[in-house]
Amino acid sequence: MNIRRHISTAALAGVSVLGLLAVTACSPAGGARTADGRLRVTASFYPMEFLARQIGGKHVEVTDLTKPGVEPHDLELTPRQTGQLGDSGAIVYLKGLQPAVDDAVAQSGNQHVADAAALTSLEKHGTEVDGHHHTTGDNHSHSEAEGGDDPHIWLDPVKYAEVAKGVNKTLAKADPDHRADYQKNTDALVKKLDGLDKEFRNGLKKRSSDTFLTTHAAFGYLAERYGLAEEAISGLDPESEPSAHRIRDLHTLAAAHHVSTVFFETIANPATAKALAGDLHLKTDVLDPLEGINGKSRGRDYFGVQRANLAALQKALGSK
């Protein structure tokens, strides 16, 4: 019995040493890098994936945890995806948008994490500002960050550029050999985002209304940047239903602010927006919160969809 126990212990010790050697051998080049040496980056949803690809370029392989056309707020992770977060060379995510991802990132122990929510300032949308009700409706959802902060920072090109600069720093720390390329790619991306900001500023300068109606309160930062007032049918949660009181408010608002259009989005169900528009004799159109890109998106990437959003806003607000 003792001999057998001694052999088992020795065998186990051998296995654990081998295991240790394997872990030591594969930690720099294993999960963190591809066979051809690129940095493996895990992104939580499309706007984070877009930044990682644009900045990382040919030096990274990016995996998006959220599949195209899936509502990111509702994402549930598979055990494989959870494991992938620990093995990745770097993670790019936005704390407060996807509870499942927040938990998995916290447990991953990964040293190279870019959290978009920490790279720019978050604000609460849903308070009365300048006499406008920048409201998020009656419903508060699990998709709000701590303290009711609005996570939709990527829809403001200026804030998105701030996040890009932070992602650059994380990739440079994770892969210092390609620091110069990451910087060059970031500079080019920030320049394009500055250009997009100017397009929005100029495109929305002369308009006959400031107020737009949308199903999902995703456009608070964009509205604030360009002096608009977003009125959401429901809240920050795209699936929540508005109360009768909220619907009455929207009737009054639409008349007072010469609202022409009720916006819905490509991923969520347009039924509520269409019902309200029918009720108020308004048009409907798409304003895309860019949480995912699929075949129905009005554009092939972040810039394409944002320009489609600008055109839709110009039309709805009577821009001249």
- Cα–Cα nearest to 160, from 3, 19, 58, 301: 301
What pLDDT is recorded for position 56?
98
What pLDDT is recorded for position 68?
87
Contacts of 240 by beta carbon, 8 Å cutoff, 6+ apart: 137, 139, 141, 234
The pLDDT averaged over each successive group of 10 residues in the chain (320 residues) is: 46 46 40 95 98 98 92 91 96 96 96 98 66 37 54 97 98 98 98 98 95 90 96 72 84 91 81 86 93 90 98 94
| Cα 285 to Cα 117: distance, rounded to the nearest angstrom | 29
What pLDDT is recorded for position 126?
60
**Helices 302-316 and 179-203 meet at what angle, rounded to 10?**
10
- Cα–Cα nearest to 212, from 320, 319, 316, 126: 316
CB 135 within 8 A of CB 231: yes
CB 52 within 8 A of CB 75: no
| Cα 7 to Cα 310: distance, rounded to the nearest angstrom | 72
Coil vs helix vs strand at 123 = coil
| Cα 219 to Cα 71: distance, rounded to the nearest angstrom | 16
What pLDDT is recorded for position 294?
87
Q: What is the DSSP letter of 33?
A: B
What pLDDT is recorded for position 279?
87
Beta bridge partners of 262: 213, 284
What pLDDT is recorded for position 216?
79
Coil vs helix vs strand at 139 = coil
Beta bridge partners of 214: 232, 263
CB 158 within 8 A of CB 118: no
| Cα 170 to Cα 52: distance, rounded to the nearest angstrom | 10
What pLDDT is recorded for position 247?
85
